[in-house]
């Protein structure tokens, strides 16, 4: 009997030793899309995260780091499963990633219920900025409405009197069109929501645009859909007739396939590859050297996410059990963001500037995105009032 007890306690000791040993390294779960037509976005995010780890000497807060990459297949139910797996069986300290708002919304509750700190490197649904906000959630991107709201301001500057809005029928699409409507002062003469993500042919919508004869068209089509929409907009002969304004439709992952079609089509962004701060110069140069291609805003936000997580672990000297202290540290946004400095609002979404971006042809025939002007400075999303956090 005594022998059994001794063995049992020895076992218990070995268990607690291994539990201690676990905290000698940091485990990060990474949920993004690595298969299907939008895998190119997930790859860009993974590349940027890995580059950030290179720049941090492969350590987070001085501790060795293990990253577990999970593919959400762009499906909310898969994203939720993968998030639960990361929490329950991998016991990760942080979860980073999330391209799609509907995937994040599905994965959000299991993560914050388990008090796992979750950093969205792209998706910014209005619900999480507002009534669902949580101390365990941080964004290194934007709230969905912010970027199109900046586009709306630019459309006012250009004297657009009326506009036709088109976007996909899912959480982010609705936020995006709401965002334009929040700032655009002209008349909205048409609004279309298309099936997402499987509708890729926009002939019916483009015919309606032609019939409505608007001053301008605003669209939001992220990833491959942006290539398809733009192709069809040009083929319908509309590019020369009706100016197109975009959010998240033209970026470094889509530009190689949009090609000349994208020239002269403006968009807004909180990060553009040519922002002149030192952190960004290093990020863009090293990314190009390592991966032989240019990073996109998805990558830039993920690079920031790695540094945000690092700042939290540094602040608690590697003791990741101190969640409250880590959250306090993250609220300071105390790291060199590639977008330049920003601060966090009460809902843990950035308060930041948005720039006008345009596609131009460089001398060597390559197409690049360029910052043209600052549309709005220190912009905060419109949902922070609904968030109960102070």
Partner 1 sequence: MRDEVILLIEQCLNGLQFGLLLFLLAAGLTLVFGIMDVVNLAHGSFYMLGAYFAATFAALTESFALGAVLALAATLAVGMAVELIAIRKLYGRDHLDHVLATFGLILFFNELVRLVWGPAGMNLPLPPFLSASVEILPDVHYPAYRLAIIVAALAVALTLYMVVMHTRVGMLIRAGASNREMVSALGINIQLLYTLVFGVGAALAGLAGLIQAPILTAQIGMGENILIVALVVIIIGGIGSIRGAFVAAIFVGLVDTVGRAFLPELFRLVMTPAAASALAPALSSMLIYLLMAVVLVWQPQGLFPVDGK
Residue 194 C-beta: closest distance to partner 1, Å = 7
Q: Is 257 in the site for partner 1 (CB under 8 A)?
A: yes
Closer Cβ to partner 1, 164 or 349, answer by number: 164
Closer Cβ to partner 1, 192 or 379, answer by number: 192
Token representation of residue 131: 């009534």
Residue 259 C-beta: closest distance to partner 1, Å = 7
* Separation between Cα atoms, residue 318 and residue 61, nearest integer Å: 6
Q: What is the size of the binding site for partner 1 (CB under 8 A)?
A: 36
Token look-up 């020895």 returns 10
Interface residues for partner 1 in 122-151 (CB under 8 A)? none
Binding partner 1 (rule: CB under 8 A), the pick from 57, 198, 278, 362 is 198
Q: Is 264 in the site for partner 1 (CB under 8 A)?
A: no
Binding partner 1 (rule: CB under 8 A), the pick from 146, 194, 310, 337 is 194
Binding partner 1 (rule: CB under 8 A), the pick from 62, 64, 256, 264 is 256
Q: Sheet harboring 59-60: ordered strands across?
A: 59-60, 63-71, 26-32, 94-97, 117-120, 137-139
Binding partner 1 (rule: CB under 8 A), the pick from 16, 235, 341, 374 is 235
Q: Is 158 in the site for partner 1 (CB under 8 A)?
A: no
Binding partner 1 (rule: CB under 8 A), the pick from 237, 264, 285, 373 is 237
Binding partner 1 (rule: CB under 8 A), the pick from 228, 302, 357, 380 is 228
Q: Is 374 in the site for partner 1 (CB under 8 A)?
A: no
Residues engaged in binding partner 1 (CB under 8 A): 35-37, 39-40, 43, 169, 191-195, 198-201, 203-205, 207-208, 210-211, 224, 227-228, 231-232, 234-237, 253, 256-257, 259
């Amino acid at each position: 009997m005594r022998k059994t007890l001794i063995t049992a306690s020895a076992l218990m000791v070995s268990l607690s030793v291994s539990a201690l040993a676990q905290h000698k390294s940091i485990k990060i779960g990474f949920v993004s899309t690595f298969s299907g037509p939008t895998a190119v976005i997930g790859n860009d995010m993974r590349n940027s995260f890995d580059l950030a780890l290179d720049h941090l000497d492969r350590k987070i807060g001085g501790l060795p780091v293990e990253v577990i990459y999970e593919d959400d297949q762009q499906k909310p139910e898969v994203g939720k499963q993968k998030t639960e797996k990361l929490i329950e069986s991998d016991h990760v300290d942080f979860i980073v990633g999330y391209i799609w708002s509907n995937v994040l919304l599905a994965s959000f509750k299991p993560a914050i219920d388990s008090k796992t700190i979750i950093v969205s490197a792209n998706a910014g649904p209005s619900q999480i900025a507002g009534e669902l906000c949580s101390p365990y959630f941080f964004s290194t991107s934007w709230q969905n409405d912010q970027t199109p709201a900046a586009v709306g301001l630019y459309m006012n500057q250009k004297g657009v009197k009326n506009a036709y809005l088109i976007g996909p029928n899912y959480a982010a699409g609705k936020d995006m069109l709401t965002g334009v409507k929040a700032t655009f002062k002209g008349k909205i003469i048409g609004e279309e929501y298309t099936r997402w993500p499987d509708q890729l042919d926009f002939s019916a919508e483009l015919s309606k645009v032609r019939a409505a004869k608007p001053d301008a068209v605003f669209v939001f089509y992220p990833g491959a859909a942006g290539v398809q929409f733009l192709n069809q907009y040009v083929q319908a002969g509309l590019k020369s007739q009706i100016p197109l304004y975009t959010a998240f439709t033209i970026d470094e992952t889509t530009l190689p396939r949009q090609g000349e079609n994208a020239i002269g089509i403006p968009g807004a962004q909180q990060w553009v590859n040519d922002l002149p701060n030192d952190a960004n110069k290093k990020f863009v140069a090293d990314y190009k050297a390592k991966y032989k291609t240019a990073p996109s805003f998805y990558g830039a936000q993920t690079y920031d996410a790695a540094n945000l997580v690092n700042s939290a672990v540094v602040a608690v000297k590697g003791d990741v059990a101190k969640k409250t202290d880590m959250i306090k540290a993250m609220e300071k946004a105390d790291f060199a963001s590639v977008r330049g400095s920003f601060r966090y609002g009460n809902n843990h979404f950035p308060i930041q500037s948005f720039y006008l971006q345009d596609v131009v042809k460089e001398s060597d025939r390559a197409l690049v995105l360029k910052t043209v002007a600052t549309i709005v400075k220190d912009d905060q999303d419109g949902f922070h009032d609904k968030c109960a956090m102070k």
